Amino acid sequence: MASIARKNLFEDLPRFIAAQAGIMFAVSLVTIQNGILNGFVKSSSLLIDNSSAELWVASADMIHMELTMPLPLEYMVQAREVKGVKRAEALIFRSARWRDPSGQIHAVTVVGSTPEGTLFAPWNIIQGEISSLKEPYGVIIDETNLESLGVTELGDVSTLGGLEARLVGVVEGTQPIINNKLIFTSLKNANAYVNARLETSTRCKLEDGDLKCVNIFDDTNPAEKQVISSAPKQLTLTDPISFVLIEVAPGQDIDELRQRLEETLPNVKTYTGEEMSERTQSYWKQRTGIGFILSLGAGVGILVGMIVVAQILYASVSDHLKEFGTLKAMGAPDKVIYSVILEQSLWMALLGYIPGMALCMGVTNWASATQGILILITPTSAVMVFGLTVIMCAGSAIFAIQKVTQVDPAIVFKA
């Protein structure tokens, strides 16, 4: 009976191609939507997952990594004195305004860490070195953000929070989907950037009783292009930071250390790296509409695929009613006839899944390389989508089977 299924499938190539296009659409939509959701959730904790800190000390009011209250730098100094702490480092994670050479502003997030530290640092460096962040106002940016921020080569200078920002390094694969463009720098530089007075695009002054304003980014007035570039000041104990990163001493019980840290530092909550990651991921997945929207899109893809497959199979059965009537007249049991239709649907599932998944992999690689967007397609999700495709096509075959159940074997003797 397998030859009958294949014959029916390939007999009308235009119809077959239309069916496969519908299945490819469904497979691609479900896979990409699910991949975007997985990538979105995973990228939300990208910075946390790439830190070697075992504990994160955060404000007790923290909702997720971006929504928290600042801590004084003094907390890091006090944490170093707590029994069981091997190392403590500060991390600044704050928003700021970037102004590119053309004068356009961009919302960015400044990530400040200790260049010589071990608990957090920019990763996947493809140009420059981390040690360059020790230089005043040196920054490292992901390669996918260079063009949009108006810097393309090492040494290019722009403005961040009214201060000079000089590109000293480039990284890849570090930009989360949910965050503003990340600007990696040192603690001193970050503190200066996030606390600097924002510069406007014009500077005004009184001359002979008249107020005169000049565009500070006007190339015709180079003397007016004043960017503050004095060396950033060393942080004081009262300067705000976002988190204290902790490395636990060997043999120290983590739960006991967490309790001591929370008793020593007022109004804080201590999380393990896994808890910090899970808290951030859960917020974006459950407390925003992203999961519902992407699931809705995947559902639409499945619905469209089922409709297309059901129509194609139903039309195919209608065109071959006499053949099925002949099989019934010859005494073929219903299960044999049903198996022909079911096998035809399974071939459609397989032949639609393979090119659909290949298309998804191409889109994934393109999005990662050119847009810095993580579309996460895992082997598990690929197998699940294949199973869903089989169920979708097999379910669609039910409509065609209903048509066959009504076939009268006498139809073969009619003119």
- 140 vs 213: which has the higher pLDDT: 140
- Mean residue pLDDT of the chain comes to 78
Question: Which tens digit of pLDDT belongs to each residue from 65-123?
Answer: 888 898 999 999 999 988 888 999 999 999 888 888 888 888 899 999 988 888 998 88
Query: What pLDDT is attached to residue 293?
Result: 76
Dist. CA 133–CA 189, nearest whole Å: 8
User: Are 98 and 108 a contacting pair, CB within 8 Å?
Assistant: yes
157-160 and 163-171 as β-strands: parallel, antiparallel, unpaired?
Answer: antiparallel
Q: Which tokens hold the place of 341? A: 């239709």
User: Are 248 and 85 a contacting pair, CB within 8 Å?
Assistant: yes
Residue 224 pLDDT greater than 80, yes or no: no
- pLDDT-wise least confident of 10-24, 215-229, 276-290, 292-306: 215-229
Query: What pLDDT is attached to residue 200?
Result: 42
Residue 379: pLDDT band (50, 70, 90) is confident
Dist. CA 255–CA 74, nearest whole Å: 23
Query: What pLDDT is attached to residue 286?
Result: 72
- 401 vs 354: which has the higher pLDDT: 354
User: Are 341 and 309 a contacting pair, CB within 8 Å?
Assistant: no
Residue 21: pLDDT band (50, 70, 90) is confident
Question: Which tens digit of pLDDT belongs to each residue from 278-301?
Answer: 888 888 777 767 767 767 776 776
DSSP assignment, residue 367? I
Residue 303 pLDDT greater than 70, yes or no: yes
φ and ψ at residue 374, rounded to 5 degrees: -90, 115
Contacts of 295 (CB under 8 A, 6+ apart): 33, 37
Contacts of 109 (CB under 8 A, 6+ apart): 66, 93, 94, 95, 96, 179, 180, 181, 182, 183
Residue 199: pLDDT band (50, 70, 90) is very low
Alpha helices (runs of H) in 12-145, residue ranges in sequence order: 13-44, 46-49, 74-80
Unique residue bearing structure tokens 């503190």: 191
Query: What pLDDT is attached to residue 139?
Result: 92
Query: What pLDDT is attached to residue 156?
Result: 87
Integer-rounded Cα radius of gyration of the chain: 31
Query: What pLDDT is attached to residue 322?
Result: 65
- pLDDT-wise least confident of 101-110, 229-238, 300-309: 300-309
Dist. CA 165–CA 193, nearest whole Å: 9
